[in-house]
Amino acid sequence: MSRALVVVSYGSSALLAENLAAWGRASTPGWTVVVVDNPTTTEERARVRSLADQHGWLLVEPDHNLGFGDGCAAGVAAARTVTEPNAIVLLNPDARVSVEDADELARRVEEDESLLLVPQMVHGDGRPAFTIGYVDRRTGMPTGAASSSGLAWLTGACLAMARGAWETLGGFASDYFLYWEDVDVAWRWHAAGGRVDVARDLRCVHDAGGTQAGAGSPSKSPLYYFFNTRNRLVFAARNLGARGRVRWALHSPRYARQVVLRGGRRQLLRPWRCVVPAVRGTVSGLRALVVGLPATTPRAATPQVGAPSAG
């Protein structure tokens, strides 16, 4: 039985060293561990190379930032140059899952290919973290619980699926770069007759924000605000009819306000880091609604693979 764990990194060597420490080749038989290192600095690339060599990870070294979705596609493509994995687990650098729980996640999606599955996400102190969300299909606003108009979607921080599911979906859509690609995947998976679920008996520790301002910090990066507000409308452009697009557009100011306030009110003292990116993202997304985006199959990423260490 062959499985793949794919991690997309961006300046995250310290997180990789901490959260993937248990995923050395000798301790994970049957797994191909792939790290996609979106480039930042020469020093960071060297640190990731050293970790990959030490642990026997398969390293993908794109020459430009692929973002999350295309980074995952490059990682899966790289894994498939080694073997055809029966299951794929996507993991954030700021998330940590045990090999045993990942094995069980993989086993369950292998047995039921209609299933996209995540473990229960928890903070480092054991408190529940974000695991499953709902978006109102009529307005594009987050909702607190399931409803007749709600779309259930799963965090992409630790997401398992069978190879057949990945192939059916074509991976993540390339239009997003960061954020909302997991909502888009859930939408397309529901439309294909699939299911999403949470394995409450399995755990993944997610230090949410570890790839942003740092774990435990409420503030977010300008990219967070820009792509969250933009990509909600990109999602509408890809998936909704004219009436739905208008409804989502009308709720954009309210959504942008919610997104900005996720970073706390103190950041409002520096509006160029939160308010301005949210406005720019909303304007960019509205352009996508006007111009329209084709709901195309995500493009395949060509991996630039470094051979793993034999250790």
If asked whether residues 124 and 251 sit together in one domain, one would say no
Q: Is residue 162 part of a domain?
A: yes
d(CA 157, CA 90): 7
Length of the chain: 311
If asked whether residues 63 and 194 sit together in one domain, one would say yes
Q: Is residue 311 part of a domain?
A: no
Find the helix or strand (DSSP H, E) in which 159 lies.
strand 158-162
Identify the residue with better confidence: 268 or 256.
256
If asked whether residues 7 and 119 sit together in one domain, one would say yes
Q: Is residue 234 part of a domain?
A: yes
pLDDT for residue 150 is more than 50: yes
Residue 82: name the closest of 247, 311, 306, 300 by CA. 306
If asked whether residues 155 and 10 sit together in one domain, one would say yes
Pairing between β-strand 3-10 and β-strand 31-38 as defined by DSSP bridges = parallel
Extract the tokens encoding 280. 């720019």
Q: Is residue 196 part of a domain?
A: yes
If asked whether residues 286 and 302 sit together in one domain, one would say no
d(CA 88, CA 4): 5
Q: Is residue 144 part of a domain?
A: yes
Extract the tokens encoding 116. 């996209």
DSSP, residue by residue, 60-129: E--SS--HHHHHHHHHHHHHHHH---SEEEEE-TTEE--HHHHHHHHHHHHH-TTEEEEEEEE-TTS-B-
pLDDT band at 311 (very low <50, low <70, confident <90, very high): very low
Domain that holds residue 54: 3-213+297-306
If asked whether residues 160 and 81 sit together in one domain, one would say yes
Find the helix or strand (DSSP H, E) in which 286 lies.
helix 275-291
Tokens 């709600």 -> residue: 150
Find the helix or strand (DSSP H, E) in which 179 lies.
none
Q: What is the reported pTM?
A: 0.88
If asked whether residues 195 and 92 sit together in one domain, one would say yes
* Span 263-285, pLDDT tens digits: 888 888 888 899 999 999 999 99
Report the number of distinct structural domains present in the chain: 2
Identify the residue with better confidence: 220 or 53.
53
* Span 189-215, pLDDT tens digits: 999 999 999 999 999 999 865 554 443
Cβ atoms of 180 and 255 within 8 Å: the answer is no
